């Protein structure tokens, strides 16, 4: 084998692909900005931080909620178990190591409050991600912690209500199943739109946040539906091989994918919303729609007692 020739071919191929990539970036400016923004916000670090806070703060809070208010949280926890594939072997592994009655007996009021306020670290991680993407200074302290705590409680309650609602809608048939999926995407988009606005303290307009929230709602819904198919086998395989540690690793993997969707959706939403070409297209479409609406044929008005009176003569 001629190693020198192989090295030259690889170097030539690399330079060719690099030049093609640079040419594509020059032709599509929005693509170049997207790449630069991924580097600026430290995409991998943001995803890992949100996933880690979700695992270390959010999961213990769900366990405590399941111990103290099982009737309130059973639907949401069942849905989380179904989405992440925790049911079956994974659920057996967790139940073997976590005794709900013991958690209830050993966790007092102080421990309950500490668990809830520790869970706000997940909200702070999401808040910092949105602030980094939108170039906003961080709001911390008591005000920021209170806002993250309120968002976290509202987010969990909303997910619980949505889970109850969709449990009542049994998708019997393609049409009803499609309606259920569409409604789920719409509700998820609305939840994330309010979440973005709340965590950013209203410093970014609703209009600028709409696209990112819609992408988040659609992708999170599709991600959840796909996880129901693939995650159970993955969790069971890891549980059989590593026990409870395998279940934790599986949930960590799912949370990293979830965090990636949040970051990518928010970043793409900002870049597309601020792109001059997109703004011109949207403005032109809005102007055309307004002109069509203004020139629409109008029906002859009627009075309360019948047809409108004719105009006065002369």
Cα 250 to Cα 246: distance, rounded to the nearest angstrom:
6
CA distance 251 to 59: 10
Is residue 188 within 8 A of residue 213, CB to CB? The reply is no
| DSSP secondary structure string for all residues of 104-140 | HHH--HHHHHHHHHHHHHHHHHHHHHHHHHTT-----
pLDDT number for residue 87: 56
Closest listed residue to residue 74, CA positions, set 148, 1, 164, 188: 164
| Residue 20 CA: distances (Å) to CA of 8, 15, 33 | 18, 9, 17
The H-or-E segment that residue 85 falls in is: none
Chain mean position to CA 86: 20
The Cα–Cα gap between 133 and 264 comes to 10
The vertex-66 CA angle with 62 and 69, nearest 5°, equals 120
Output the pLDDT for position 304: 46
For residue 193, the model assigns a pLDDT of 95
- Torsion over CA of 234, 240, 243 and 246, rounded to 10 degrees? -20
> Which of these, 92, 99, 79, lies nearest to 224 by C-alpha position?
79
Predicted local distance difference test score (pLDDT) of residue 259: 94
Q: Are 126 and 199 in contact (CB under 8 A)?
A: yes
CA gap 47, 207 in Å, rounded: 25
pTM greater than 0.85 (yes/no): no
| Secondary structure (3-state) at 302 | strand
Q: Which two tokens stand for residue 109?
A: 């009021």
SS3 307: strand
CA–CA distance, 32 with 7 (Å, rounded to integer): 29
Give the relative orientation of helices 43-53 and 109-133 as an angle to the nearest 10 degrees: 160
C-alpha closest to that of 203 among 136, 150, 148, 132: 136
Is 230:254 a contact under the CB 8 Å cutoff?
no
Tokens matching residue 210: 């709409």
| pLDDT value, residue 119 | 77
Q: Where are the domains of the chain?
A: 36-281
pLDDT tens-place values along the chain, 314 residues long? 566 777 777 777 767 776 666 665 556 667 778 888 888 998 999 999 999 988 887 777 767 666 666 665 556 666 666 666 555 544 454 445 455 565 555 566 666 666 777 778 888 999 999 999 999 999 988 888 889 888 988 888 887 787 777 777 666 666 677 888 888 899 999 999 999 999 999 999 999 999 999 999 999 999 988 888 888 888 888 878 887 777 788 888 899 999 999 999 999 999 988 877 777 777 777 777 877 888 877 665 554 455 555 555 54
Residue in 214, 206, 208 with CA at minimum distance from that of residue 270: 208
Q: Among residues 59, 83, 301, which one has the least CA distance to residue 184?
A: 83
């Amino acid at each position: 084998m001629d190693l020198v020739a192989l090295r030259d071919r690889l170097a030539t191929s690399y330079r060719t692909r690099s030049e093609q990539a640079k040419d594509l970036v020059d032709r599509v400016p929005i693509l170049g900005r997207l790449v630069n923004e991924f580097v600026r916000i430290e995409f991998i670090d943001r995803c890992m931080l949100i996933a880690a806070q979700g695992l270390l703060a959010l999961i213990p809070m769900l366990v405590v909620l399941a111990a103290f208010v099982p009737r309130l949280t059973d639907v949401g926890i069942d849905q989380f178990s179904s989405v992440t594939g925790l049911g079956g072997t994974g659920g057996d592994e967790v139940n073997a190591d976590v005794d709900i009655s013991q958690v209830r007996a050993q966790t007092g009021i102080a421990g309950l409050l500490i668990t809830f306020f520790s869970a706000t670290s997940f909200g702070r991680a999401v808040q910092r991600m949105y602030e980094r993407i939108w170039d906003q200074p961080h709001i911390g302290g008591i005000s920021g912690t209170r806002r993250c705590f309120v968002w976290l409680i509202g987010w969990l309650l909303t997910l619980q209500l949505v889970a109850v609602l969709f449990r009542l809608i049994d998708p019997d048939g393609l049409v009803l199943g499609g309606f259920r999926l569409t409604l789920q995407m719409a509700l998820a988009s609305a939840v994330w739109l309010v979440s973005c606005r709340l965590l950013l303290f209203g410093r970014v307009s609703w209009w600028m946040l709409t696209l990112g929230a819609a992408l988040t709602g659609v992708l999170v819904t599709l991600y959840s539906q796909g996880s129901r198919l693939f995650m159970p086998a993955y969790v069971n395989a890891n549980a059989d091989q590593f026990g409870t540690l395998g279940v934790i690793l599986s949930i960590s993997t799912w949370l990293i994918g979830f965090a990636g969707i949040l970051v990518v959706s928010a970043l793409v939403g900002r870049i597309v919303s601020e792109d001059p070409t997109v703004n011109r297209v949207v403005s032109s479409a809005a102007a055309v729609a307004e002109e069509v609406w203004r020139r629409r044929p109008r029906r002859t008005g009627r009075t309360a007692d019948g047809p409108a009176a004719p105009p006065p003569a002369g």
